[in-house]
Chains A and B, each alone.
Chain A
Amino acid sequence: EAGVAQSPRYKIIEKRQSVAFWCNPISGHATLYWYQQILGQGPKLLIQFQNNGVVDDSQLPKDRFSAERLKGVDSTLKIQPAKLEDSAVYLCASSSRQGARTGELFFGEGSRLTVL
């Protein structure tokens, strides 16, 4: 079974530029998550989708971050304009409905963003 796919793996941009990350979840997983992981910290939930609807985006900085999950499968996370403090690894995860209840998430390898 293929895992969660993310791209790009690495991205370096200057502040005020924009960037987009893509995620393809495990086939059949209804729930998709974007987490931000700053170096030395635990992952922080940015947004959670159930199919193509947003379940929680309370921690998403909506003035600069946006995310969508068209057709309930792939998802993109965009940052515009980027700030220095956005430097982090952006992790995408997916889960089944049962996994969403128990906390059994499957993560991709992440997209590492460096903002200069």
Chain B
Amino acid sequence: GESVGLHLPTLSVQEGDNSIINCAYSNSASDYFIWYKQESGKGPQFIIDIRSNMDKRQGQRVTVLLNKTVKHLSLQIAATQPGDSAVYFCAENTGGFKTIFGAGTRLFVKA
């Protein structure tokens, strides 16, 4: 479900470590699953997507894993950098071309 108020789940990692951000989704009929990054004062920025018929997709320093059995999506960031500090949102694209955002996770990168 969605986070309420200011209490976003938070993940704190050391610079250079790998980060794993998790997300549970609800609609098993969604065709695409997407990760967005939102920095303070800015709009969300597309990172990577994965189609429902795949279970893994890799980008530059990021990997998205999809487990349809348990309706779980994760974003792995390799060698996390200070510039990765942001709020990360998972989203799903449902039938009818609607993109619905889930709860966010705030990532802090410690130098």
Please tell me which one of the listed residues B97, B100, B102 contacts residue A101 in the complex, with CB atoms under 8 A apart.
B97
Please tell me which one of the listed residues B5, B32, B51, B103 contacts residue A42 in the complex, with CB atoms under 8 A apart.
B103
Residue of B nearest to A56 (CB): B98
Q: How does the 8 Å CB contact mask read for A1-42 relative to B, with 1 for contact and 0 for none?
A: 000100000000000000000000000000101010001111
Q: How large is the interface on A (under 10, 10 to 19, 20 to 34, 35 or more residues)?
A: 20 to 34
Q: How large is the interface on B (under 10, 10 to 19, 20 to 34, 35 or more residues)?
A: 20 to 34
CB within 8 Å for A39 and B34 given contacts A31-B97, A103-B93, A105-B99: no
Secondary structure dominating the interface of A? mixed
CA distance A91 to B41 in the complex (A): 11
Secondary structure dominating the interface of B? strand
CB within 8 Å for A103 and B96 given contacts A42-B2, A43-B101, A110-B43: no
B49: chain A residues at CB < 8 Å are: 102-104
Interface residues of B (CB under 8 A from A): 2-8, 31-34, 41-46, 49, 51, 89, 91-93, 96-104
